[in-house]
Structure 1
Amino acid sequence: MAAEFGVLGVVEARIDGRPVDLGHARQRCVLGVLLVEAGRPVTVDQLIDRVWGGSAPQRAAGALYSYLSRLRTAVAAGAEIRREPGGYLLTVDPQAIDLHRFRRLMTLARGADSDRAAADLIGQALSLWRADPFAGLDTPWLSAMRRTLLGERFAAELDLNDVLLRLGRHGELLPGLSAAVAEHPLDERLAGQAMLALYRCGRQADADERYRRIRRRLADELGSDPGAALRRLHEQILTADPALAVPAPDPGRSGAPVAAAATVPAQLPADVRAFTGRTGELAALDRLLESPDDDEPPLTVALLSGTAGVGKSALAVRWAHRVRDAFPDGQLYVNLRGYDAEQPVAVADALAGFLTALGVRGPEIPPGTDERAGRYRSELTGRRMLVLLDNASSVEQVRPLLPGSGSCLVLITSRDSLPGMVAVHGAERVNLDLLPLPDALGLLRKLIGARVDRETAAAEALAAACARLPLALRIAAELAADRSDVPLADLVAELGDHRVRLDLLDAGGDPRAEVRAVFSWSYRSLPDPAARVFRLFGLHPGETAHVDAVAALTGTDPAETRRLLGVLVRASLVQAGPGGRYGMHDLLRAYAAELATGQDAEPDRRTALTRLFDHYLAKSVAAMAALHPDGAPAAGDPDAARAWIEAERPNLAVICAYGTAHGWYQHTVALAETLFRYLDAGGPAAEAAAVTASAVSAARAVGDRDAQARALSHLGRLHRRQGRPHEAAATYRQALELYAELGDRAAEALVLRNLGSVDWLLGDYRQAADHYQRALALYGPRGDDAGQADALVRLGLIDARLGDRMRAEQRFGAALELYVTLGDRFSEAYVLSLLARLPHRPVALDRAADRLEQSLDAVRRTGDRTAEAYVLTDLAAIRARQDRLAEAAGHLRRALVLHRRIGDRASEAEALNDLGRVLHAAGDAGEARTQHGQALDLAEEIGDRYEVARAHDGIGATWRDTGDLGRARPHLDRARRIFADLRVPAAPGAAAPVPVPGR
């Protein structure tokens, strides 16, 4: 008979299309619980708790048995309810239950080959919903489950929106999206979909307004800013990014994802082949997803602990794949390498990786660990995500990686029990013991087949010899499969001959120590070339390595290296990953390195690592030649070069740190110098700073003062870019001292100029002028007209800020003559814009604007985003002077997009204040105040007191002009005090000239 069961509405059952009488509400509650848990036993205590909550009667168990008996009879034609050792079990085809059919259809939709297929599957899934789940029933557990399921339906609706947007059906979506936004005003993914639909319908201004509306709501109600995905979409809308164009008809899955959708990371490693057993542990993990009582916060941290090699990571990954649909906003994963003495993953690096996966661009990733952790928690707020922290060694290593949102679940694996996670963070611990003998035999059976049943005693002995550790069992099974003609008993005896203790593991009866015998047994069976690759691979300091890097390390032809790595993969000693990359279990890596130390002479090991450093340096040089040919013909494919650097960035940072720690100083210096331009322009500033700091240490170790000075100068620039002016100044002073000793006057002048820019940012104008004057004095005798002009511009900026208009005009005029003589049209346009911004300056505004438009075209052709942002800011100032306020605001918004991409936080604060003043002049006081508020937060963070004062002045002016003097006065008074302290006139307005560091 055909049976159908439903919980997505009233709890119901139908047999051959006819409804079944399920009895009263409490009895239907019991069936509802069993239908949700179909195929999994539910204990009596769980049933009582879920059906009655805290108000269970004294004889609840008796009543429950009566309900189950009636239900067993009522549904007998389509399902079976039986008593199991673990509780009551409902046995039925899951696809006969609407909830499980809904989840299955959504899984199929998310993996569909085309968007049309996905849309059809999601439509089928949503059509199963008749009303709210468990309609008419009300218990604490059912209410919590109802909220969870409604969240799944909402996620499905959002998925459908994404698919229909990809299919170009934005017009028909827009009315429904507008209504949904009104119902869910704080949902960023939904807001992004509405913004994209508006934009594609030709309503760019409405899309911009939609963004500003949710930004205000988030700030007012949650005290947060929009996430990275929504900010990026807004930037794309403002710049009319071609990526937002209506897609071609009927695109397949291979098309670009909808820009409006939030970034959904899927970082889980591949599921484990031939996974066996662990049913009890999987059930324990499943229970972690159960909704708590109403008075209890949701579980946010779970801990899977057990000895090394026992299969913690495999179990965690298997379970994570099983439940991924319960986390529609994505899954994050990091191997923390907590037990790697050389290269454990730093918390800051793990956070940077997570932020990148969540859609935060490199320049936006904060520098410090605490700031990154805060941004990470903000990005996860409201998202339903699973975070898998593998191989953690301590509470300190994982605490900053914990989300602040109860909507996320963190699963940690560790060899230690981490009691602090339980005591402080309320983690649920699941302890993983050795595989029970039947499961160990089951794993061997999956890997080597029927021999296990034919030679049961020998198979049991083999399992015992492997200490029932999955890692050792897999290695032993691969060797047994390769020698299928040898009886298992002989292999067990052979294994016994190799039994020794593994030094890095505990002795004294610890079963982990037995794994070394299996490693040794498998290793001794390798051909000599493969054994050598295994040993040397253990020396690689990174987590994974491309086949080309392994070839360099071993000095072997890449094709032969790939073949030998295949031998190691088949022996389960090495793991193959995507894109030609390979990795090792940490125990195997330690064992391989131990073998290399014992069998390969120290000069041979050092030569191998030197080849590895040579490889990374040569590939980096080639990549940079393709990306930045500097006038020479491009050498290689820029896209391929960029892809190589991005794929190898984690290894490059590790290589630099390792090189500094172990004596590859020249390689570290050269590698950091080569990569600086790329990392400075596009990589996370903190990562670039770490690489550059390694170069400083390496150069200092070999006494290369010139390289040390260059690295310090680079590091100062990175500190300034990160909004850390005091660190920047200290670093620049070290570089200045070295350049003075070396007699490199050109470099000394450049550092003086950069020091002056830091002083300017901190409001120390006298010190800034002194540095600029000293730079000017160094440029003059060298005949460096460009340097002199730059110093004159910067001195003129100080004069203008301090109110000396005549001197500023003289300096700008002298710089202009030099730039005209040099034929530098770009700098000429900049100086013209500065002259035009001086009060009462009779320079032709149209001439300045024309030159800036020409500069804008030029920098866009070259792809120089930094220069483009500066020109847009200059042009906005001119348009504001011409009362073309809408145009000025547009230029400033585009400049802000670029400043944020670049990571130029000082220029971002200045542009925010400029935009606030333009919007205020245009009559939008509320939005002007929002921009000034953002400028205030940023300027206070980076220590730019002048922009702090401008922000207070702008906020006060908007309140004053709307008649609210009570709110205006504190801001205006604060601005006045700061301006007086800086000894500058009150803020001259949106068109005030500002410095452009590095120009």
Structure 2
Amino acid sequence: MTAQFGVLGAVEAQIAGRPVALGHARQRSVLAVLLVEAGRPVTVDHLIDRVWGEDAPQRATGALYSYLSRLRQAVAEAGIGIERRPGGYVLTADPQTVDLHRFRELVTRGRSAESDRSAAELITQALGLWRGEPFAGLDTPWLASMRQSLWNERLAAELDHNDVLLRLGRHGELLASLSAAVAEHPLDERLAEQLMLALYRSGRQADADEQYRRIRRCLADELGSDPGAGLRRLHERILAADPALAATGETREPHLQPPARLAVPAQLPADVRAFTGRTRELATLDGTLAPPGGDEPPLTVVLLSGTPGVGKSALAVRWAHRVREAFPDGQLYVNLRGYDAEQPVAVGDALAGFLTALGVPGTEIPPGVEERAGRYRSELTGRRMLVLLDNASSVEQVRPLLPGTGSCLVLITSRDSLPGMVAIHGAERINLDLLPLADAVVLLRRLIGGRVDREPSVAEELAAACARLPLALRIAAELAAARTDVSLAELVGELGDHRLRLDLLDAGDPRAEVRAVFSWSYQNLPADAARVFRLLGLNPGESLRVEAVAALTGTDAGEARRLLGVLVRASLVHTGRGGRYGLHDLLRAYAAELAAEHDPEPERRAALTRLFDHYLAGSVAAMNTLYPESPDAGGDPEAARNWIEAERPNLAATCTYAAAHGWYRLAIALAGTLFRYLDAGGPAAEAVAVTTSAVSAAVAVGDREAQARALSDLGRLHRRQGRLDEAADTYQRALTLYADLGERAAEAVALRNLGSVHWRLGDYRQAADHYRRAWSHYRRLGDDAGQADASVRLGLVDARLGDEAQATKRLRSALALYTGLGDRFSEAYVLSLLARLSRQPADLERAVAQLEQNLAVVRQAGDRTAEAYVLTDLAAMYARDGRLAEAAAHLRRALVLHRRIGDRASEAEALNDLGQVLRAAGDAAEARSQHEQALVLAREIGDRYEEARALDGAGGPQQDLAQRLFADLAVPGAPSW
């Protein structure tokens, strides 16, 4: 019998057209994992991790075996098995019986189809397989991540489909969807071009002109920039009624564009348990959803203000969950920690977090707060989103986080009234008062149960003793629930007695009442749990896993988990996703106050030292797994990557805190350990912050060598992100330090790095000077690899300046050194450079053979950076050999990788290379598009040579400017294949 499986919607299975009962959600989650990996083994550990995440029970393995057994019986009728093999469990179904794998196969065929008509049909079939949200009704961290990945795959297919339909002349049916997309993304020039073209081809030249004027105004207002060259040229051609703009029907090759980003963040914290009352406030909040008629309303800002513990955050989160469907483009959330004396969230960090959630790659996040705020507003323009800014302390902390569009709603919580938000931004303030006594009693009833009804007057006394503050009520209720043998009257008496003994900060202040309840609950903790609570207040990060708590407290994981359970039951600690534990900001402050009072400073410092050492050890282990020094190194790379990603905010906070509070050596070590991971694809802003902390820590201890290393790392980050002037300055500082220290090997590396920046800036003589100095150092040190590297770089300068004979001489010298060292990767690179200068087919064949071997090796190792470079080198060889389709495919893959790792300079170079290949293949229009993208990027980063290449490739009057640029650079012109 035939079987069909689905994950692009609810997880389902059918045998001979009949639905199969798959059991409860956890069991269906197991099947979902096996279906995603259909035909491939999945280990027991991976199954448990993907089905339970951090919340796996102790008997997860036994439960998993039970689920597998039931699923095996469910699909056995179709002759499909779930087999145990050496690599794990395998679902033996044909992948093509799973809608996900059929979708991917159809899209792949569509992208490589020989005709646009075939491509359109195939991608239409692929999109038709979707039934709704992937894995609908299932919720585990792994499935959530996979779900978002699949949404991205669908978006990529939709955009490819869009391009194909435009080339087929089916612009009329695209008008509605393109108009909607442009409304959501009014600053996206590619979308604007598509809509303008569709409008023009539909006989609406005036509307196309108006669309251009609209995006030009938006770009000027939001970014202070003009439309790019491609958009301007299309506008000129539309005004001139260029006949070439008419729909030409089907083309032979799709040349599909890379997909645009689309992210729908869902960052709201979990909804509040046993939420009670606030009916009037919820109704007021609901009223903010009804915008006035007519044009888009001004930005709606709502401010919830009130005393600490009154339930501002709970109300905001409850309402946000209630109305989330009204914000289909997503919900953003940040706890600004505005009243945390040690670790308030910086505005720039909050903006970086929002931009990351909105799908902006880390390398595209600007360095400055104002630039980040502008990009943030641009990303939100036209999108219907809810932005929840929790625990704000000032208007200055909030203002840069306000969107610039009335399609969004901003909800702010603050202890203060923030009058500037009302006066300047027109915020609607809702002052949150204490819970009415009746509601306070209802909350106690929902938390404690029938005891409230048996002692109603005492319950009212308890509510009054808690100042009718929800946070205090919850803590008191948990204490009452844990002491069922004690009457409510006795508990209220205890609280009253304790209040008299407590040294209140300000009698009559509700905050003092909350402090009294905190103290009451704290005093009833066992001594070991009380100590854990105090130490948790020292953590500079947001939340902790059990292992980190064990390190902080000097216990083992089992004991830490037990004590955390005590604190959770007392409502002093809350649990979050991924098995993490955190504190309300008031409780954090209270815990830190207690720690300062009861734990001597050496003990507090020792606790933080243990925590920081835990993070350093974990980071070292993870990095050794991800980047092993030997092929025999063990470990699970996926687990290591997941650990770093989960702990990344804590690791960054630790670096910053350690550098500011005297753990200088630890900050240096942790930043140095994390650098390679952050540099290879972590958030750029975070990478810069961590590395800058290392620089300041090294300065603090007078460690000039560590300072130089951190500056070198910082220079690399700047160079990768296209900030070449900053990179040059930072590398120069590192070079000066290494020279003073007499560290000749490190000085040589710094000289090479500085030379590479001048190379990108088009200052070839300065670059050559640095390379020659580096070569001299390497020669004195007897470093053959360094000499070879410097020789290659000098050869590149010679070739760029037109001295091919000298370039060939240097490259052959480097080749001999690499051959002697057995460095096959570098040898292949030099062979490819020599093949570009040579006219001998044998040189070309040798280079191709070695590069193809290298490509297989780097792909197996998962080294994306190396893969991108090898693909680019191979593409050059294929192009020289006339294998243009293969060259273009390799360059497209290299572009994807360059963008992923944030190498903007290499991205510009690859775009120009692809433009040359496409022009040689006869696709002038697509070639021009690639060169125009390269032009924008090259100008942004200051790469004048790639700017000249882009102008030359764009053709027309731009070529005169290109020739002037080439002349200024003293280079003969663009390279030929």
TM-score relative to the length of structure 1: 0.73
CA–CA separation in structure 2 for the residues paired with 1:431 and 1:194: 42
Over residues 563-594 of structure 1, what are the superposed CA-to-partner deviations in whole Å (9 max), with x where a residue is unaligned? 11111111111111222210001111000000
Is the alpha carbon distance of 1:425 and 1:881 closer, same or farther for their aligned partners in structure 2, counting shifts above 3 Å? farther
Measured after TM superposition, the shift of residue 553 of structure 1 is: 0.7
Task: Show the counterpart of 2:415.
Answer: 415
Over residues 211-252 of structure 1, what are the superposed CA-to-partner deviations in whole Å (9 max), with x where a residue is unaligned? 998584279855799xxxxxxxxxxx99999xxxxxxxxxxx
CA–CA separation in structure 2 for the residues paired with 1:416 and 1:711: 41
Task: Show the counterpart of 1:984.
Answer: 971
SS of residue paired to 2:967:
helix
AA at the equivalent of 1:912: L
- State whether structure 2 residue 580 is matched by structure 1 residue 630: no
Task: Show the counterpart of 2:691.
Answer: 692
CA–CA separation in structure 1 for the residues paired with 2:726 and 2:501: 50
Task: Show the counterpart of 2:460.
Answer: 460
Q: Which of 188, 194, 213 is 1:217 aligned to? A: 194
Task: Show the counterpart of 1:196.
Answer: 157
In the alignment, is the contact (CA less than 8 A) between 2:392 and 2:413 conserved in 1? yes
Residues 555-954 of structure 1: matches in 2 within 5 Å?
555-631=554-630, 633-838=632-837, 844-954=843-953
In the alignment, is the contact (CA less than 8 A) between 2:721 and 2:902 conserved in 1? yes
- State whether structure 2 residue 509 is matched by structure 1 residue 510: yes
In the alignment, is the contact (CA less than 8 A) between 2:103 and 2:126 conserved in 1? no
Is the alpha carbon distance of 1:633 and 1:878 closer, same or farther for their aligned partners in structure 2, counting shifts above 3 Å? closer
SS of residue paired to 2:680:
helix
Task: Show the counterpart of 2:355.
Answer: 355
CA–CA separation in structure 1 for the residues paired with 2:102 and 2:502: 58
Measured after TM superposition, the shift of residue 300 of structure 1 is: 3.8
In the alignment, is the contact (CA less than 8 A) between 1:792 and 1:812 conserved in 2? yes
CA–CA separation in structure 2 for the residues paired with 1:716 and 1:197: 39
Measured after TM superposition, the shift of residue 344 of structure 1 is: 1.2
Runs of 4+ off more than 6 Å = 163-167, 169-173, 175-178, 188-192, 197-201, 203-207, 209-213, 237-241, 500-503, 839-843
Task: Show the counterpart of 2:81.
Answer: none
- State whether structure 2 residue 549 is matched by structure 1 residue 541: no
Residues 368-379 of structure 1: matches in 2 within 5 Å?
368-379=368-379
Measured after TM superposition, the shift of residue 644 of structure 1 is: 0.9
In the alignment, is the contact (CA less than 8 A) between 1:502 and 1:516 conserved in 2? no
AA at the equivalent of 2:974: P
Is the alpha carbon distance of 1:419 and 1:693 closer, same or farther for their aligned partners in structure 2, counting shifts above 3 Å? same
Measured after TM superposition, the shift of residue 364 of structure 1 is: 4.5
CA–CA separation in structure 2 for the residues paired with 1:642 and 1:895: 23
Measured after TM superposition, the shift of residue 299 of structure 1 is: 4.3
AA at the equivalent of 1:217: Q
Is the alpha carbon distance of 1:723 and 1:200 closer, same or farther for their aligned partners in structure 2, counting shifts above 3 Å? closer
SS of residue paired to 1:682:
coil
TM-score relative to the length of structure 2: 0.75
AA at the equivalent of 2:879: A
SS of residue paired to 1:478:
helix
Measured after TM superposition, the shift of residue 408 of structure 1 is: 2.8
CA–CA separation in structure 2 for the residues paired with 1:193 and 1:577: 30
In the alignment, is the contact (CA less than 8 A) between 2:952 and 2:974 conserved in 1? no
SS of residue paired to 2:430:
strand
Is the alpha carbon distance of 1:988 and 1:595 closer, same or farther for their aligned partners in structure 2, counting shifts above 3 Å? same
Structure 2 unaligned regions, length at least 5: 1-6, 20-97, 107-120, 131-148, 179-188, 197-210, 220-253
Measured after TM superposition, the shift of residue 544 of structure 1 is: 0.5
Task: Show the counterpart of 1:311.
Answer: 311
Measured after TM superposition, the shift of residue 927 of structure 1 is: 2.3
Between 1:392-401 and 1:539-548, the stretch displaced more is 392-401
AA at the equivalent of 1:972: Q
SS of residue paired to 2:581:
strand
Is the alpha carbon distance of 1:113 and 1:842 closer, same or farther for their aligned partners in structure 2, counting shifts above 3 Å? closer
AA at the equivalent of 2:715: G
Over residues 460-509 of structure 1, what are the superposed CA-to-partner deviations in whole Å (9 max), with x where a residue is unaligned? 23222222111111112222223344343443332233337999x98474
Over residues 689-717 of structure 1, what are the superposed CA-to-partner deviations in whole Å (9 max), with x where a residue is unaligned? 21111112212222222222211111111
Task: Show the counterpart of 1:494.
Answer: 494
AA at the equivalent of 1:925: A
SS of residue paired to 1:265:
coil
CA–CA separation in structure 1 for the residues paired with 2:635 and 2:739: 39
CA–CA separation in structure 1 for the residues paired with 2:588 and 2:8: 36
SS of residue paired to 1:391:
strand
In the alignment, is the contact (CA less than 8 A) between 1:364 and 1:901 conserved in 2? no
CA–CA separation in structure 2 for the residues paired with 1:408 and 1:767: 50
CA–CA separation in structure 1 for the residues paired with 2:165 and 2:793: 38
Task: Show the counterpart of 2:124.
Answer: 174
AA at the equivalent of 2:891: L
In the alignment, is the contact (CA less than 8 A) between 2:299 and 2:409 conserved in 1? yes
In the alignment, is the contact (CA less than 8 A) between 2:834 and 2:843 conserved in 1? no
Over residues 263-287 of structure 1, what are the superposed CA-to-partner deviations in whole Å (9 max), with x where a residue is unaligned? 4332221111111000011111111
In the alignment, is the contact (CA less than 8 A) between 2:715 and 2:731 conserved in 1? yes
Measured after TM superposition, the shift of residue 115 of structure 1 is: 9.3
Over residues 507-550 of structure 1, what are the superposed CA-to-partner deviations in whole Å (9 max), with x where a residue is unaligned? 47432222111111111111111111111111111110111111
Structure 1 unaligned regions, length at least 5: 1-108, 121-162, 181-187, 226-236, 242-258, 961-967, 992-999
CA–CA separation in structure 2 for the residues paired with 1:802 and 1:397: 51
Measured after TM superposition, the shift of residue 828 of structure 1 is: 2.1
SS of residue paired to 2:708:
helix
Percent identity (aligned): 72
SS of residue paired to 1:340:
coil
In the alignment, is the contact (CA less than 8 A) between 1:299 and 1:427 conserved in 2? no
Over residues 772-829 of structure 1, what are the superposed CA-to-partner deviations in whole Å (9 max), with x where a residue is unaligned? 0100100112221111111111111111222222222222222222222223222222
Larger Rg: 1
SS of residue paired to 1:406:
coil
Q: Which of 953, 962, 970 is 1:975 aligned to? A: 962
Is the alpha carbon distance of 1:168 and 1:982 closer, same or farther for their aligned partners in structure 2, counting shifts above 3 Å? closer
In the alignment, is the contact (CA less than 8 A) between 1:196 and 1:260 conserved in 2? no
Over residues 857-904 of structure 1, what are the superposed CA-to-partner deviations in whole Å (9 max), with x where a residue is unaligned? 232222221121112222222233333333222221111111101111
Is the alpha carbon distance of 1:702 and 1:571 closer, same or farther for their aligned partners in structure 2, counting shifts above 3 Å? same
Q: How many aligned positions are there?
A: 788
In the alignment, is the contact (CA less than 8 A) between 2:291 and 2:297 conserved in 1? no
CA–CA separation in structure 2 for the residues paired with 1:558 and 1:515: 31
Task: Show the counterpart of 1:321.
Answer: 321
SS of residue paired to 1:631:
coil
Over residues 300-347 of structure 1, what are the superposed CA-to-partner deviations in whole Å (9 max), with x where a residue is unaligned? 432222221110110111111111222233322221111111111222
SS of residue paired to 1:526:
coil
Measured after TM superposition, the shift of residue 768 of structure 1 is: 0.8
In the alignment, is the contact (CA less than 8 A) between 1:833 and 1:848 conserved in 2? yes
CA–CA separation in structure 1 for the residues paired with 2:944 and 2:257: 34
AA at the equivalent of 2:309: G
In the alignment, is the contact (CA less than 8 A) between 1:475 and 1:571 conserved in 2? yes
RMSD: 3.7
Is the alpha carbon distance of 1:756 and 1:198 closer, same or farther for their aligned partners in structure 2, counting shifts above 3 Å? closer
Task: Show the counterpart of 1:996.
Answer: none
CA–CA separation in structure 1 for the residues paired with 2:939 and 2:838: 28
CA–CA separation in structure 2 for the residues paired with 1:433 and 1:267: 27
In the alignment, is the contact (CA less than 8 A) between 1:434 and 1:467 conserved in 2? yes
Residues 459-478 of structure 1: matches in 2 within 5 Å?
459-478=459-478
Measured after TM superposition, the shift of residue 740 of structure 1 is: 1.7
Measured after TM superposition, the shift of residue 976 of structure 1 is: 3.1
Task: Show the counterpart of 2:78.
Answer: none
Between 1:669-678 and 1:417-426, the stretch displaced more is 417-426
In the alignment, is the contact (CA less than 8 A) between 2:288 and 2:300 conserved in 1? no
